[in-house]
Amino acid sequence: MPTRGPSTETKGGPVRHRDSRPLPADRLLDTAAALFDREGIRAVGIERLIAEADVARASLYQAFGSKDALVVAYVERADRTDRERYARAVRALAEDPRERIAAFFRLAAAGIRRRRFRGCLYINAATEFPDPDHPVHDAVAAHRDWQRAELVRAAGQAGAADPERLGTRLQLLYDGALVGAKALRDTGPIEEAAELAVELLASG
């Protein structure tokens, strides 16, 4: 596993490392996220990744094994981050299903602005790897399964006659809103979709 640089100890102080930067694996993930979001996954080669992360080629293979495995790690980290953001956003909302649904769309609007309207990270990743057996599809599916489960849960809390069906419709609405926002480079479609989602929830 990659390690930090040699350590030194200052008199009366804590042990410090000459290289205080993040570990190579973390630098690779941070660099991959920035480049993949900005330029696409396929457009970024290994040489570019290791150069901008300032790591040795061996560090990539020691930490991930391959570029494809790094891509999977990138998607999985994004998934964890999105789940954590959602959990924080709804922590104070108790069990209000309308607010929980609205939080999904608010986070989507914030995320697409942060990514400069480059679309959904997960759909983009799946599109760049058309082979359905590629491991990236499992990572994308895990995120979407979690997302749908939360939408179904909110639909059930709202008293929907068929929470599974309504959850599926809400996810389709969410997907379409992200596509519209990317095409128009504007969060308007997401804001409109959020209002429609709450209306669907109320109608059951």
Domain assignment present for 3? no
165 shares a domain with 85: yes
Q: Would you place residue 19 in the very low, low, confident or very high pLDDT band (cuts 50, 70, 90)?
A: low
Q: What is the CATH number of the domain that holds 189?
A: 1.10.357.10
Residue 19: domain span: 8-65
Domain assignment present for 94? yes
Domain assignment present for 124? yes
pLDDT at 67: 96
CB burial class (10 A; 0-12, 13-18, 19+) of residue 23? Answer: middle
Q: Would you place residue 20 in the very low, low, confident or very high pLDDT band (cuts 50, 70, 90)?
A: confident
Domain assignment present for 169? yes
Domain assignment present for 159? yes
pLDDT digits (tens, 9 = 90+) for 85-104: 999 999 877 778 999 999 99
Least confident of 36-40, 89-93, 109-113, 199-203: 89-93
Domain assignment present for 1? no
155 shares a domain with 180: yes
Q: Closest by alpha carbon to 82, among 100, 102, 101, 108? A: 108
| Domain count along the chain | 2
42 shares a domain with 91: no
Mean pLDDT of the chain: 90
pLDDT digits (tens, 9 = 90+) for 153-195: 999 999 999 999 999 999 999 999 999 999 999 999 999 999 9
51 shares a domain with 77: no
Q: 17, 47, 65: which is the final residue of a domain? A: 65
Section 7-15 average pLDDT: 44
pLDDT at 204 over 90: no
CB 167 within 8 A of CB 148: yes
61 shares a domain with 75: no
pLDDT at 11: 46
- 3-class state of residue 15 by DSSP: strand
pLDDT digits (tens, 9 = 90+) for 63-79: 999 999 999 999 999 99
pTM (2 d.p.): 0.86
pLDDT at 95: 76
80 shares a domain with 21: no
30 shares a domain with 89: no
E-strand spans in the chain? 7-9, 15-17
Read off the tokens for 198: 């709450």
130 shares a domain with 41: no
79 shares a domain with 108: yes
Distance of CA 134 to the CA centre of its chain: 18
Q: Would you place residue 144 in the very low, low, confident or very high pLDDT band (cuts 50, 70, 90)?
A: very high
pLDDT at 14 over 90: no
Q: Would you place residue 15 in the very low, low, confident or very high pLDDT band (cuts 50, 70, 90)?
A: very low
Domain assignment present for 2? no
